[in-house]
Protein backbone atom coordinates (compact mmCIF):
# COMPACT_ATOMS: atom_id res chain seq x y z
CA UNK A 1 0.00 0.00 0.00
CA UNK A 2 1.27 3.49 -0.86
CA UNK A 3 2.22 5.90 1.90
CA UNK A 4 -0.58 8.20 3.00
CA UNK A 5 -0.33 11.73 1.66
CA UNK A 6 -1.17 14.88 3.57
CA UNK A 7 -4.45 14.97 1.62
CA UNK A 8 -5.38 11.47 2.77
CA UNK A 9 -4.68 12.55 6.35
CA UNK A 10 -6.90 15.64 5.87
CA UNK A 11 -9.69 13.52 4.34
CA UNK A 12 -9.45 11.08 7.27
CA UNK A 13 -9.60 13.95 9.79
CA UNK A 14 -6.08 13.33 11.10
CA UNK A 15 -4.89 16.82 10.06
CA UNK A 16 -7.11 19.91 10.31
CA UNK A 17 -7.86 21.97 7.21
CA UNK A 18 -10.08 24.86 6.24
CA UNK A 19 -12.81 22.90 4.43
CA UNK A 20 -14.82 24.87 1.87
CA UNK A 21 -16.93 22.03 0.45
CA UNK A 22 -17.25 18.29 0.75
CA UNK A 23 -19.42 15.48 -0.50
CA UNK A 24 -19.18 11.70 -0.72
CA UNK A 25 -16.54 11.78 -3.49
CA UNK A 26 -14.41 14.86 -2.86
CA UNK A 27 -13.32 17.54 -0.45
CA UNK A 28 -12.33 21.15 -1.13
CA UNK A 29 -9.90 23.00 1.14
CA UNK A 30 -8.22 26.39 1.14
CA UNK A 31 -4.64 26.20 -0.13
CA UNK A 32 -2.11 26.91 2.65
CA UNK A 33 0.17 28.68 0.15
CA UNK A 34 -2.30 30.63 -2.00
CA UNK A 35 -1.18 31.89 -5.41
CA UNK A 36 -4.30 34.06 -5.83
CA UNK A 37 -6.74 35.77 -3.45
CA UNK A 38 -9.04 32.77 -3.93
CA UNK A 39 -7.10 29.50 -4.11
CA UNK A 40 -8.71 26.22 -3.13
CA UNK A 41 -7.93 22.58 -3.83
CA UNK A 42 -10.52 20.03 -4.93
CA UNK A 43 -9.32 16.58 -3.84
CA UNK A 44 -10.97 13.26 -4.63
CA UNK A 45 -11.44 11.05 -1.57
CA UNK A 46 -10.18 8.13 -3.68
CA UNK A 47 -6.42 8.55 -4.01
CA UNK A 48 -5.13 8.73 -7.57
CA UNK A 49 -1.45 9.76 -7.55
CA UNK A 50 -1.45 11.75 -10.82
CA UNK A 51 -3.97 12.55 -13.53
CA UNK A 52 -2.12 10.22 -15.88
CA UNK A 53 -2.76 7.39 -13.40
CA UNK A 54 -6.54 7.69 -13.79
CA UNK A 55 -8.20 4.95 -15.84
CA UNK A 56 -11.54 4.02 -17.37
CA UNK A 57 -13.02 3.24 -13.94
CA UNK A 58 -12.24 6.81 -12.83
CA UNK A 59 -14.32 8.53 -15.56
CA UNK A 60 -17.31 9.19 -13.32
CA UNK A 61 -15.09 10.51 -10.52
CA UNK A 62 -13.21 12.84 -12.87
CA UNK A 63 -16.51 14.16 -14.22
CA UNK A 64 -17.76 14.64 -10.67
CA UNK A 65 -14.65 16.67 -9.82
CA UNK A 66 -15.30 19.01 -12.75
CA UNK A 67 -18.97 19.46 -11.84
CA UNK A 68 -17.87 20.11 -8.25
CA UNK A 69 -15.49 22.82 -9.47
CA UNK A 70 -18.51 24.67 -10.90
CA UNK A 71 -20.50 24.21 -7.70
CA UNK A 72 -17.59 25.44 -5.58
CA UNK A 73 -16.92 28.42 -7.89
CA UNK A 74 -20.56 29.48 -7.49
CA UNK A 75 -20.38 28.97 -3.71
CA UNK A 76 -17.27 31.18 -3.57
CA UNK A 77 -18.85 33.82 -5.83
CA UNK A 78 -16.18 33.49 -8.53
CA UNK A 79 -18.19 31.70 -11.23
CA UNK A 80 -17.59 34.47 -13.80
CA UNK A 81 -13.78 34.24 -13.79
CA UNK A 82 -11.58 31.50 -12.41
CA UNK A 83 -8.80 29.18 -13.49
CA UNK A 84 -8.64 25.40 -12.92
CA UNK A 85 -5.23 23.80 -12.90
CA UNK A 86 -3.96 20.23 -12.49
CA UNK A 87 -0.23 19.55 -12.13
CA UNK A 88 0.89 16.11 -13.28
CA UNK A 89 4.31 15.09 -12.01
CA UNK A 90 7.13 16.73 -10.13
CA UNK A 91 8.51 18.62 -13.16
CA UNK A 92 5.04 20.13 -13.66
CA UNK A 93 5.01 21.38 -10.07
CA UNK A 94 3.10 18.57 -8.38
CA UNK A 95 4.28 18.31 -4.78
CA UNK A 96 1.59 16.04 -3.31
CA UNK A 97 1.01 12.85 -5.26
CA UNK A 98 -2.73 12.65 -4.70
CA UNK A 99 -4.61 14.12 -7.66
CA UNK A 100 -6.04 17.57 -6.91
CA UNK A 101 -7.46 20.47 -8.86
CA UNK A 102 -6.52 24.07 -8.08
CA UNK A 103 -9.26 26.69 -8.39
CA UNK A 104 -7.76 30.19 -8.57
CA UNK A 105 -9.73 33.41 -8.76
CA UNK A 106 -9.94 37.10 -7.87
CA UNK A 107 -6.75 37.75 -9.82
CA UNK A 108 -6.18 38.86 -13.40
CA UNK A 109 -4.33 36.01 -15.12
CA UNK A 110 -2.14 36.42 -18.15
CA UNK A 111 -1.22 33.66 -20.59
CA UNK A 112 2.34 33.55 -19.24
CA UNK A 113 1.20 33.04 -15.62
CA UNK A 114 0.58 29.32 -16.03
CA UNK A 115 3.22 28.12 -13.56
CA UNK A 116 1.66 26.86 -10.34
CA UNK A 117 2.92 24.60 -7.57
Tell me the C-alpha distance between 51 and 98, whole Å.
Answer: 9
Tell me the C-alpha distance between 95 and 117, whole Å.
Answer: 7
Of 39, 64, 98, 100, the catalytic one is 100
Instruction: Please say if 64 is a catalytic residue.
Output: no
Within 13 Å of residue 87, how many CA atoms lie on the same side as its CB?
Answer: 17
Among left, alpha and beta (phi > 0; psi -120 to 50; other), residue 77 is left
For the beta carbon of residue 97, count every other beta carbon within 10 angstroms.
Answer: 17
- List the catalytic residues: 100
Amino acid sequence: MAEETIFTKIINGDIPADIVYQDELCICIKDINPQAPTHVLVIPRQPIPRLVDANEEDKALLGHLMISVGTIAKQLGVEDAFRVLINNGEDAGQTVFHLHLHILANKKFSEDSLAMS
